[in-house]
């Protein structure tokens, strides 16, 4: 009897492990059957089995997720925003953008704004309609990597995680400001952070997991 019980337990664990997969568009995100709702899946940066719904990105009724099938987890959003506010200014890619912004060529946010049709993000050059870069300073946006804009262009509002202020020398001088328009899932895909920020986010989620 005890041997049979152990076999059934091992079989369930093996089946659960086989059920876990990753999203093709972002291998860092795992897909789990949702134990609380058989018709949905949990999406998580953590590989813990069974997953903790409170730390999941959200749930979806289809894989890959779509804007209609996905429901965000508000606690995850809060953690994401906190991680970005603490670490976005140290992201190598964003710092590179800041340096390029202040270069002699700079970025023309007027052209970018006209091309996209609207200003987004925190205040500064883009929102005020001024031309940034070329030693003037302004704001640089942190964009989701699922749909990167062309060089010198501003991403779509739903792809802008937030912005940082940059001085005329290309140094980040302000705190990260969340955009308020960002969407975790769009028709272009799901949340895609740089390797640096992904590492910081996963580390924070693991810290939160230890508290549970």
- Is 44 part of a structural domain of the chain? yes
CB 109 within 8 A of CB 125: yes
How far CA 186 is from CA of 18, 59, 168, 210, in Å, comes to 28, 14, 34, 31
Q: Same domain for 103 and 36?
A: no
Number of structural domains, the chain?
2
- Is 14 part of a structural domain of the chain? yes
- Is 82 part of a structural domain of the chain? no
pTM metric for this prediction: 0.79
- Is 32 part of a structural domain of the chain? yes
3-state secondary structure 105-152: CCCCHHHHHHHHCCCCCCCHHHHHCCCCCCCCCEEEEEECCCCCCCCC
Q: Tell me: the pLDDT tens digits for 81-118?
A: 999 999 999 999 999 988 888 776 654 443 333 344 44
Domain enclosing residue 10, as ranges: 1-73
Structure tokens at 51: 């997953």
- Is 28 part of a structural domain of the chain? yes
- Is 184 part of a structural domain of the chain? no
Q: Same domain for 127 and 163?
A: yes
Which residue would you say has higher pLDDT here, 152 or 80? Answer: 80
Q: Same domain for 22 and 69?
A: yes
Inform me whether the pLDDT recorded for 25 exceeds 60.
yes
pLDDT-derived band at 135 (thresholds 50, 70, 90) equals low
Query: Can you give the pLDDT at residue 153?
Result: 82
Q: Tell me: the pLDDT tens digits for 26-57?
A: 999 999 999 899 999 999 999 999 999 999 99
Query: Can you give the pLDDT at residue 121?
Result: 40
Inform me whether the pLDDT recorded for 132 exceeds 70.
no
* Average of per-residue pLDDT values in the chain: 82
Q: Same domain for 63 and 99?
A: no
Q: Same domain for 67 and 98?
A: no
């Amino acid at each position: 009897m005890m041997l049979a019980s152990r076999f059934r337990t091992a079989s369930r664990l093996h089946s659960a492990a086989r059920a876990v997969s990753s999203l093709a568009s972002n291998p860092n995100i795992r897909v789990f059957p949702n134990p609380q709702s058989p018709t949905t899946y949990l999406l998580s940066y953590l590989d813990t089995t069974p997953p903790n719904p409170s730390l999941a990105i959200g749930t979806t009724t289809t894989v890959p997720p779509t804007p209609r099938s996905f429901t965000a987890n508000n606690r995850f959003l809060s953690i994401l925003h906190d991680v970005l506010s603490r670490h976005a200014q140290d992201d190598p890619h964003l710092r590179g953008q800041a340096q390029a912004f202040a270069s002699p060529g700079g970025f023309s946010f007027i052209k970018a704004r006209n091309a996209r049709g609207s200003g987004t993000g925190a205040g500064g050059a883009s929102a005020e309609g001024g031309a940034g870069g070329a030693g003037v300073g302004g704001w640089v946006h942190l964009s989701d990597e699922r749909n990167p804009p062309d060089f010198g262009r501003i991403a779509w509002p739903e792809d802008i995680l937030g912005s940082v202020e940059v001085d005329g020398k290309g140094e980040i001088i302000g705190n990260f400001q969340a955009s308020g328009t960002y969407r975790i899932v769009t028709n272009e895909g799901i949340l895609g952070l740089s390797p640096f920020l992904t590492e910081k986010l996963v580390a924070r989620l693991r810290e939160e997991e230890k508290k549970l």
